[in-house]
Amino acid sequence: MARLWRDHVAGYWPRLLIAGVLMSLEGAALGLLAWLIQPLFDDLFSSDNMSGVGWVALAIAGVFALRAVAGFGQRVILVAVGLKVTTALQSRLLRHILSLDLSFFRDMAPGALIERVRGDTLALQGIAANTVMSLGRDTIGLVALLTVMVLNDWVWTLLALIGLPLLVLPILALQRYIRITTTASREAASRLATQLDEIFHGAQSVKLNRLEAHEMARFDGEVRGFLRQALRAQRGLAANPATIDLVSAIGLVAVLYYGGAQIVSGEKSVGEFMSFFTALGLLFDPLRRLSNIAGQLQAGVASLQRLYDVLDAHPTILSPANPRPLQPGDIAFEDVEFGYGDAPVLRGLRFVAKQGQTTAIVGASGAGKTTVFGLLTRLIDADAGTIRIGGDAVGDLDLDQLRDAIAVVGQETALFDATIADNIRLGRLDATPDEVRAAARAASVLEFSDHLPLGLDTPVGPRGSALSGGQRQRVTIARAILKAAPILLLDEPTSALDARSEQLVQDALTRLSAGRTTLVIAHRLSTIREADLILVLDRGRVIEQGSHAELMAMNGAYARLEALQSAGLLPRL
């Protein structure tokens, strides 16, 4: 909570000070209302003269008006501050998450991250607003009402509060229970969001495999788990005020018996008793809310802990303190080793991709082809060995400059819910409309966009759902063309295209590759026959390398792959 105050709330202290004054007025109004009850009964109702009733009634109405204005003002201020803090925290979370290594996203499901950024921050906002209002308004109200009670009769006050010591142990036990159950509830909500994310993204597979009933059964199971945890948390929160009510009954009965006897004997007036009893009656609501604060704080701490668990995660792949400027040149892998946990992927990988030439990488699934791209772009770092560009190790280069120098086109098209032009412009955000259109023409995007009513301004839909697979791939290729980086990484960029579009895009990529260092992951060997160098990977090592003609002449692994694909027995690698 101290970190939250320091990081996001402290800057709003002037507004919070105003809200505090308004909360004090709202809380003090309760005590003033209870105090006005005594003259109303003793000086007015007990006499035959009604002339003073109007003034007392006007004073009571003024108290309610003051309470209404103060309550409205402090709520507006606190809600506004809460929204500003929440949105700032959400932005900070997303900014920090995007700075983390790719391994973080492998370990944390998208639904769980969405729940952290949205669910936990919104839950925290509601809890914080209620807690601050209760602490300010109800604490002042409690003090004001207790003051009225003590001024009327301190013995009655002690009797009314006689059961409060009995609350200590139950409330302490409840706080621990609330924190545990709220944490479990937030974790269940994360699993629920993750499953929804999987269902919506896999809608096509769900329908094709008739998995609707299966996915609904899984979802219903998660909903039941969430409901069970959420109800446990709510039972803990509800137990606090219920405990207060039970203990307060003890004091209420004691005051009724003792105070009633004093009124009958004439020791106390009806006005004094009614003023005290009004204060005691009004005391229960702020006391219940204040008793609930500890539970709400525990629920807030549970959400806050989940948020700071993310914020306390730090990236390990960073730019060096004194980076070297990137000099385009040959790309060299020198005895590179990498593995995921205990599963090795690359075992002493060595090769050189010459500047300005096209180097193709082929091999069976799991041979390490995609890992080569991840290491070169520093999405992951090697366990051993060195990767160099132009003679400099990639770890010695500025990370932003390194990634600016590389354009990637993969099998999975990463399109966002924007227009075709906006998705192409992601390759270079400052590109002019003419440059975007030129890139679209080079990637054969205009072949289909010019037939759309809005042309390049056509929205592509979530994840590019409004376009076909081949159209999405061409938009991604246009993005890479617009970036015009000195290094190209192509993961079978024409895999989703028909024969005519494939030829058009292949010609564009051939022109684009001229003078640039290009690495291609090939799944169809027919697409890389013109490559300057072909590397055959097996279990993380290069077992053959050379041109297409040289590898065929070796009559080794590459020649066998070529024969299998030509016979249609091995369509993809």
Can you say whether residue 408 is alpha, beta or left, with left for phi > 0 and alpha for psi between -120 and 50 degrees? beta
* Residues 362 and 246 occupy one common structural domain: no
* Residues 341 and 376 occupy one common structural domain: yes
Can you say whether residue 515 is alpha, beta or left, with left for phi > 0 and alpha for psi between -120 and 50 degrees? left
Is residue 146 situated within a structural domain?
Answer: yes
Identify the CA nearest to 118 among candidates 99, 82, 91, 90: 90
Domain count, the chain: 2
Taking only the tens of pLDDT, the chain with its 573 residues reads 788 888 888 888 898 889 888 888 887 877 777 777 766 666 655 555 555 566 667 777 887 888 888 888 888 888 888 888 888 888 888 888 888 888 888 777 777 788 788 878 877 777 766 777 777 777 887 888 788 778 877 777 777 776 566 665 666 676 677 777 777 777 777 777 777 777 776 666 666 567 778 778 877 887 787 777 777 777 766 666 666 666 666 666 766 667 667 677 777 777 777 777 777 777 777 777 776 676 677 777 777 888 888 889 888 888 898 999 888 889 999 999 998 877 888 998 999 999 989 999 988 877 788 889 889 999 889 999 999 998 899 999 999 899 999 988 877 767 888 899 999 998 888 999 999 999 998 888 898 899 988 999 999 888 787 888 778 888 888 888 888 889 999 887 766 566 666 776 677 677 777 778 999 987 778 778 888 999 999 888 999 999 999 999 998 888 888 887 776 655 444
Instruction: Identify whether the C-beta of residue 562 lies closer than 8 Å to the C-beta of residue 552.
Output: yes
Report the alpha-carbon distance of residue 364 to residue 145 in Å, rounded.
Answer: 79
* Residues 488 and 516 occupy one common structural domain: yes
Residues 268-273: contacts with CB under 8 Å, at least 24 apart: 268/153, 269/38, 269/41, 269/42, 270/41, 270/42, 270/46, 271/37, 271/38, 271/39, 271/40, 271/41, 271/42, 271/43, 271/46, 272/38, 272/42, 272/152, 272/153
Is residue 322 situated within a structural domain?
Answer: no
* Residues 258 and 348 occupy one common structural domain: no
Report the alpha-carbon distance of residue 413 to residue 477 in Å, rounded.
Answer: 9
Residue ending a domain, among 248, 277, 311, is 311
Give residue 445's identity as a one-letter amino acid code.
Answer: V
* Residue span of the structural domain in which 185 resides: 2-311
* Residues 403 and 284 occupy one common structural domain: no
* Residues 145 and 252 occupy one common structural domain: yes
Instruction: Identify whether the C-beta of residue 485 lies closer than 8 Å to the C-beta of residue 493.
Output: no
Is residue 436 situated within a structural domain?
Answer: yes
* Residues 487 and 378 occupy one common structural domain: yes
CATH of the domain at 481: 3.40.50.300
CATH of the domain at 215: 1.20.1560.10
Report the alpha-carbon distance of residue 239 to residue 235 in Å, rounded.
Answer: 6
Is residue 247 situated within a structural domain?
Answer: yes
Please state, as a whole number, how many other Cβ atoms lie within 10 Å of the Cβ of residue 182: 27
* Residues 230 and 366 occupy one common structural domain: no
DSSP β-ladder status, 358-363 and 533-538: parallel
Identify the CA nearest to 538 among candidates 383, 368, 353: 368
Report the alpha-carbon distance of residue 159 to residue 343 in Å, rounded.
Answer: 71
Is residue 319 situated within a structural domain?
Answer: no
Burial 204-239 (b: 16+ CB within 10 A, else e): eebeeeeeeeebeeeeeebeebbeebbebbeebbeb
Residues found in the chain: 573
